[in-house]
């Protein structure tokens, strides 16, 4: 998979605590069938071996549908399962170091809240930015919100794709898109967690969100 052609439009971040009844594997497959274009496996409190085994299973599902799999934070797990890349935060290993470890063909995403962080990430070889939280979110209690003005500054500062994250769901997505349109700012995708994985019908939730996204 060529990382520079990744489709960021509907970006799923996993959180197994959101699930209603399905296994994470079942939910990821349903989400992909509903239109998810990229999957990030996020596991915070899990043993290394379990994370590795789950990552292998999720990768098999993603690759069956030709959807890239990124691992959140854990460069070692990404290497071990030969994932398509990683997503790292500001307190993780520096992007330049991760690029040296993973090589030029893997996708590296970096969380950014300011134009300065965005410029640094692009200079260090990031493929895309995760910017947020756009709205208050229950899946990340410590996330501070980013204003449309800050997002606009980030968009003007870099040329790499931007994925908006944080509290994005069926009711907040239209408001986000209206605000972006008013600010004449474009993004390349939205990242969602509970708006897909917390729903009874994961496939339908994905289809509805995909339908709502106004990104070329």
Enumerate the active-site residues.
Answer: 42, 111, 140
> In 3D, which of 44, 25, 36 has the Cα closest to residue 163?
36
What tokens does 44 get? 């915070």
3-state helix/strand/coil string of 51-117: HHHHHHHHHHHHHHCCCCEEEECCHHHHHHHCCCEEEECCCCCCHHHHHHHHCCCCEEEEEECCHHH
What tokens does 177 get? 């898109």
> In 3D, which of 152, 157, 178, 193 has the Cα closest to residue 44?
193
The 3-state DSSP class for residue 47 equals: coil
Burial track 81-91 (b if 16+ CB lie within 10 A, e otherwise): bebbbbbbeee
Beta-carbon contacts of residue 81 (< 8 Å; ≥ 6 apart):
52, 55, 56, 59, 71
The 3-state DSSP class for residue 198 equals: coil
- Is-contact 32 67, C-beta < 8 A? yes
């Amino acid at each position: 998979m060529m990382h520079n052609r990744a489709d960021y439009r509907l970006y799923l971040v996993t959180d197994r605590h959101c699930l209603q009844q399905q296994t994470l594997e079942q939910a990821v497959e349903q989400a992909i069938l509903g239109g998810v274009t990229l999957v990030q496996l996020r596991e915070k409190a899990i043993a290394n071996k379990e994370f590795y085994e789950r990552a292998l299973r999720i990768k098999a599902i993603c690759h069956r549908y030709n959807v890239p799999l990124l691992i959140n934070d854990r460069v070692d797990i990404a290497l071990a399962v030969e994932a398509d890349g990683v997503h790292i935060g500001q307190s993780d290993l520096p992007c330049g170091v991760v690029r040296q470890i993973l090589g030029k063909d893997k996708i590296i995403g970096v969380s950014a809240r300011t134009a300065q962080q965005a410029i640094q990430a692009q200079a260090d070889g990031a493929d895309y930015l995760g910017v947020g939280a756009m709205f208050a979110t229950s899946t990340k209690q410590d996330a501070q919100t980013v204003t449309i003005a800050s997002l606009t500054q980030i968009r003007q500062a870099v040329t790499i794709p931007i994925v908006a994250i944080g509290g994005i769901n069926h009711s907040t997505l239209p408001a986000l898109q209206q605000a972006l349109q008013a600010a004449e700012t474009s993004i390349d995708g939205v990242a969602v967690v509970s708006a897909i994985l917390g729903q009874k019908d994961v496939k339908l939730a994905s289809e509805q969100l995909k339908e709502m996204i106004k990104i070329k």
